Amino acid sequence: MQESNIRHKILTIPGLYNSGPTHWQSLWERRFADCERIELGNWDEPLKDQWVERIAAAIHAEHEPVLVAAHSLGCHAFAHWFAAASSVARDRIAGALLVAPPDLTQLRRDKRVESFTDSPPLSSQTPMIVVASDDDPYAKTSHVWRLSRHWDARFVNAGPFGHINADSGVGDWPYGQYLLASLQPAPTLAHADEARWLRAGDWPNRVRRDPRFEFKERAHRS
């Protein structure tokens, strides 16, 4: 992936426990000159209101549209911010990549995430992609697909890569870079090196929609 393909500043939003040094978010922050982490604080004991306020402050400080790359619980925090944000604030988001959002109903016994569970519906012209993994221990693919519809976002199945974190072995996740670049307005072309995708364990032919869930969607509409 050529850095020139991503023209916007990137803001990363990690999830519970933050993202360690070998997580793709951390690697992006080192790879791209204009990529920063939103410091949410209380990484081990997250407070939804605090996280939303930190996201709001970080985006308010930007004078040009930015790309957001959120992971895990950070996806839910971003959704809560976006739902409450003004149209002016939303316009500062060029696109959002929401990776491996957990099924919080499975974690209802964990009081740390309790305040995040009421996921707001989103409706916007802002391009978003929600990425699932076939074997994510924190969410079934079908749940993430439903969440993508709830958030008015495009759905992508990245294949069997666990929680798409450092343990997944995707390195700096070239396929994720491709997806992020694809969120930018035309005329940017999100060039992709398919060989690099394959080396990173990504499935370039399984993008956009998983046909299994597309069928369910059609059946639901009929």
Helix (H, G, I), strand (E, B) or coil at 40: coil
CA distance 175 to 21: 19
Q: Do residues 58 and 1 make contact, with C-beta atoms less than 8 angstroms apart?
A: no
CA distance 57 to 195: 39
Could you read off the pLDDT of 62-93 as tens digits, one per residue? 999 999 999 999 999 999 999 999 999 999 99
Could you read off the pLDDT of 39-52 as tens digits, one per residue? 999 999 999 999 99
pTM of the full predicted structure?
A: 0.84
User: Which pLDDT band holds residue 211 (cuts at 50, 70, 90)?
Assistant: very low
User: What's residue 187's pLDDT?
Assistant: 54
Q: Which two tokens stand for residue 61?
A: 């400080």
As its CATH architecture, domain 3-221 has 3-Layer(aba) Sandwich (3.40)
Q: Do residues 15 and 74 make contact, with C-beta atoms less than 8 angstroms apart?
A: yes
